[in-house]
Structure 1
């Protein structure tokens, strides 16, 4: 688990500051966590999501600083933890409390299917954002626009994440840091919709 991981264009060798932009850009998650925490005003769901975004910040920063396999696992687990909790929170707030428990397994199944079909681990998240936007638009809930915007931003960030290793010859720092910056915006947008003081 302590094996060295070199998976990004910016990193050229071991070392704590081997990925300065990839490391510093994680501050976008910290900013998102602080903003969601302030919006929550004591709302437990909002505070929970803010804390989970904070874990994403800590785990992703550790991974890009240390570049070890255990840190990579921690990064993935932190992201998965936020997404699973958010799926349940969304279902409870917008659909039905009775069936909210189904949301997390359904998302896991979607992620597994899309991954097996070659779509990677994040295609399921993109599809879910689109589904959230579509169902809320059908329900005439004004929050659908937040998910539509979040989905568009996530599509761009996902593309930039995929381009990172392909542009090394032209952009030595890569594009992964943009994935962090844009995803910080996405996590903030989706979180603020379920924070109680901001619910219409």
Structure 2
């Protein structure tokens, strides 16, 4: 694999110069700002701080991808996103739902075949196939909200809000190329802005859970 191979997958990009995607690049500040703001709010939570650090890395990685547009930058973009999903899922399973450690880890590993199944199911569908993998996350959030709505109603409502924001974000991501002729700067920048808000909100949901509900486990 050529890690320095460049490719164009976004409406805003017109060539392979560094600033060909200025809006897509600069809107990654949403992740950086969100991470900094949430850092102080979760000062008492180890896993909250871990999530903030990964959120910061998402902003950096995505910035690199939308400026360099290379294979290595793509990895820098997607790897922190995957890490955030895994860490947050562990936090939900272990510290919010209260599963034992072994079950929490199995639940995290179970995300891989689950996401693969969702991706394969959505791939042939018009529109949904564009961002097929990402739809696995709001679906999972809604599933947790439904399963634990009585055990932790406020947290479940937080999951629903997060799923709604992410669904809008994924929709705008998917419209980037289809609307390119009508909206030449593209809609991918809104994916960044809304995701910064959504990920900060999910960290806030965790923080509120620790305040409003008795600890599920130490």
> TM (normalized to structure 2)?
0.87
Task: Name the structure 2 match of 1:107.
Answer: 111
Task: Name the structure 1 match of 2:98.
Answer: 96
CA distance in 1, matches of 2:99, 2:111: 17
- Where is the helix percentage greater, Structure 1 or Structure 2? 1
What CA deviation, in whole Å up to 9, does each residue of 1:72-103 have, x standing for no partner? 12211110011011100111122223121122
The answer as to whether partners of 1:10 and 1:174 remain within 8 angstroms in 2 is yes
After superposition, residues 119-158 of structure 1 pair within 5 angstroms as: 119=129, 120-158=132-170
SS of residue paired to 1:97: coil
SS of residue paired to 1:168: coil
What CA deviation, in whole Å up to 9, does each residue of 1:77-130 have, x standing for no partner? 110011011100111122223121122112111111111221521121121111
Could you tell me which runs of 5 or more consecutive residues in structure 2 were left unpaired when the two chains were aligned. Answer: 124-128, 213-218
Could you tell me which runs of 5 or more consecutive residues in structure 1 were left unpaired when the two chains were aligned. Answer: none
Question: How well do the aligned residues superpose, as a CA RMSD in angstroms?
Answer: 1.5
What CA deviation, in whole Å up to 9, does each residue of 1:19-64 have, x standing for no partner? 0110111111011111221111242111100001011011001000
* Relative contact order higher in (CA < 8 Å, ≥ 6 apart): 1
Task: Name the structure 2 match of 1:161.
Answer: 173
> TM (normalized to structure 1)?
0.94
Identify the match of residue 63 of structure 1 among 53, 62, 65: 65
